[in-house]
Amino acid sequence: MFATRTLGELLEQAAQAEPEALAFRYGDEVLTYRDWWEWSERLAGAYWAAGLRPGDVVALLLPPAPFYLVAYLAAARLGLVTAGINTRYRRREIVAILQRSGAAMLVAVRRGQDGVDFAAMLEAEQANLGKLRHVVWVEPEELAHTRALAARIATGGRAAPDVDVSSSAPVAIVFTSGTTGIPKGACYQHRNLLAVVEIESRRYAQGVPVVRKHLAAGVSFAHLGTMVRIGVQIAHRALSIVHDRFDPQRVLATVAQERLPHLGAFPTQMIALLDHPMRRQYDLSSVQSVLLGGAPVAPELILRVQKELGAVVSVRYSSTEVGIATASLPSDPPERLCSTVGKPTAGVELRIVDENNTPLPPGSVGEVVVRSPATMVGYWNDPEATARTIDAEGWVHTGDLGFLDDQGYLHLRGRKSEMYIRGGFNVYPMEVESVLLQHPKVARAAVLGVPDARFGEIGWAFVVPHDPADPPKLEELRDFVGRELASFKRPDGLTVLADMPLTAMFKPDKRALREIWEITTQRA
């Protein structure tokens, strides 16, 4: 384990060991690890001058930009807790997060990238945010100048005092994407984030490459990938090239210009990159490895990445509550990458349990539960939800369904809440979706269980066709799925979409799909 106890200490050590190492590149701005540490110190002084004390919560409603991470590490330095808010969220979600977190300070961009006026939105909700004592508004254009922005906020503030922050002090609240209701906040302590770094390091012995230059292309920093894994970047003194939105052509240009050896993306993003009409104009030969995650990966996509980019593909599994769990191995063949999310990494315990919390043998589908020093300690200010999720032995019940095979690889089957029962048979939407994505006419796919008078529930497929002029018909898809899966798993209904609605984390938005189904059936 690290000699350091906290995230703030980890950054200070990095700044002292390699002060000129590049930490961020954002547009024309470049920040070193010395810059990151020094401006975090300045901002910590401003927090202290505003009356914030250890245990207080600072909420960040900011797009991806280095200033977000300066503000985050400033809070960590003082024993404050950071709650990230995705800028794709709107009034109901933002107000709920501010209320649930009990934030004492909000640092927020005044206007979102799509023009939404966050200042006006929250001014109208001021009466509902009684614990919020301070709001710092940031103009969008200020985010391109981290030093000047931090200096403005820190004006008049004194140096932050030395604060003895415990390794068991809370440091981050990561809110769920809210696909099934109001987001819940997974709370992590400093020791959990350092455990993520240690467990991640065990993957390198298996041939997983250390990423020293990373492209962060438009994914919210409020997500697990940054809030919980930021210590991995700091520990390796790695450089993060930040894009505040996902622009496929800009990503291709950056990969070519920077000669990036590694690329991480959601499946939808990777498809956009591979299908971009100007892709072949860029030299992508530097890419050696590609990490695909966040959604089921179609075999066709893995084969395309391997063939067209010549890269080693890897897949992983984690969740907002778990932090780090499984990973594929560089030697895994395409068929294993397509059907599993890898093996538990050393330091992570993972098993499959039934409804009575009894471990199940290989091949049996049940709930995925995980135990490690890198999981959340509970949901912030929600002891009831915590008790439902973390059992007496410390196992985190993920709500995901899956099974372990004889070689220890995890096969996911979807969410417990999404499983439906058709005529007495359990159907797991993710299993059906993975087959639909292999159909030559299907570009995107999602499946819902919907009410039915005869069977109780049936499967309804939503697909985006590769060619809008030639969409698949229901019978085509039923025949295709029926060749791979049991007959009761075939979809009974079909809605063809021009585009797939996505959550703030680029996953199919199943609440929105259910609303589409309800409107469609009402019209019928």
Its CATH architecture, for the domain 7-201, is 3-Layer(aba) Sandwich (3.40)
Between 486 and 379, whose confidence is greater? 379
CA distance between the termini of the chain: 61
Q: Alpha helix (H) ranges present in 285-417?
A: 299-304, 334-339, 383-389
For range 120-138, the mean pLDDT: 93
Instruction: Return the sign of the alpha-carbon dihedral for residues 255, 258, 261, 264.
Output: negative
Q: Where in the chain is the domain with CATH 3.40.50.12780?
A: 7-201
pLDDT digits (tens, 9 = 90+) for 401-443: 999 999 999 998 888 888 898 988 889 898 899 899 999 999 9
Read off the tokens for 446. Answer: 């999602």
pLDDT digits (tens, 9 = 90+) for 204-235: 876 667 889 999 998 899 999 999 999 999 99
Of the candidates 187, 193, 191, the residue with the CA atom closest to the CA atom of residue 172: 187
Q: Measuring CA to CA, which residue among 116, 146, 180, 117 is closest to residue 37?
A: 146
Q: What is the pLDDT of residue 267?
A: 82
- DSSP string across 429-493: HHHHHHHHTTSTTEEEEEEEEEEETTTEEEEEEEEEESSTTSPPPHHHHHHHHHTTS-GGGS-SE
What is the C-alpha separation between 275 and 290, in angstroms, rounded?
Answer: 16
307: pLDDT strictly greater than 90: yes
Asked if 184 and 210 touch (Cβ cutoff 8 Å), the reply is: no
Query: Residue 378 pLDDT more than 80?
Result: yes
CB of 227 closer than 8 Å to CB of 177: no
Q: 425-442 as b/e, with b when 16 or more CB fall inside 10 Å?
A: eebbbbbbbbbbbbbebb
The predicted-structure confidence for 251-289, as pLDDT tens digits, reads as follows 999 999 999 999 999 887 898 999 999 999 999 999 999
- Name residue, tokens 């589908």: 365
> CATH class for domain 318-416?
mainly beta
Please check the confidence at residue 179 and state whether its pLDDT lies above 60.
no
pLDDT band, residue 1 (cuts 50/70/90): very low
Whole-number Å distance between alpha carbons of 402 and 137 = 44
* Pair of tokens at residue 136: 């710092």
Written in H, E and C, the secondary structure of 249-270 is HHHHHHHHHHCCCEEEECHHHH
The angle, 0 to 180 degrees and rounded to 10, between the axes of the packed helices 267-274 and 248-258 is 80
Q: Where in the chain is the domain with CATH 2.30.38.10?
A: 318-416
pLDDT tens, residue by residue, 111-127: 998 889 999 999 999 89
Reported pTM:
0.88
Q: How many CA atoms lie within 13 A of 204 on its CB side?
A: 11
Q: How many residues appear in the chain?
A: 524
Closest CA to 448 of 397, 474, 473, 414: 414
Q: Is the pLDDT of residue 178 over 60?
A: no
Determine the distance from the C-alpha atom of residue 140 to the mean position of all C-alpha atoms in its chain, rounded to a whole number.
23
pLDDT-derived band at 489, boundaries 50, 70, 90: very high
Task: Name the residue with tokens 């995890």.
Answer: 410
pLDDT exceeds cutoff 50 at 164 = yes
Cα separations (Å) of 277 from 183, 247, 372, 459?
38, 13, 44, 35
Q: Residue 177 — very low, low, confident or very high, per pLDDT cuts 50/70/90?
A: low
Question: How many whole angstroms separate alpha carbon 8 and alpha carbon 30?
Answer: 21
Phi/psi for 492 (5° steps) reads -95, -15
Where are the CATH 3.30.300.30 domain residues in the chain? 419-523
**Which of the listed CATH numbers 2.40.10.220, 3.40.1160.10, 1.10.10.10, 3.30.300.30 matches domain 419-523?**
3.30.300.30
Q: Is the pLDDT of residue 365 over 70?
A: yes
H or E element, residue 231: helix 230-235
DSSP state of 309: I
pLDDT mean over 299-305? 85
- DSSP assigned state of 140: G
Which pLDDT value is given to residue 373? 98
Distance between CA atoms of residues 184 and 49, nearest Å: 30
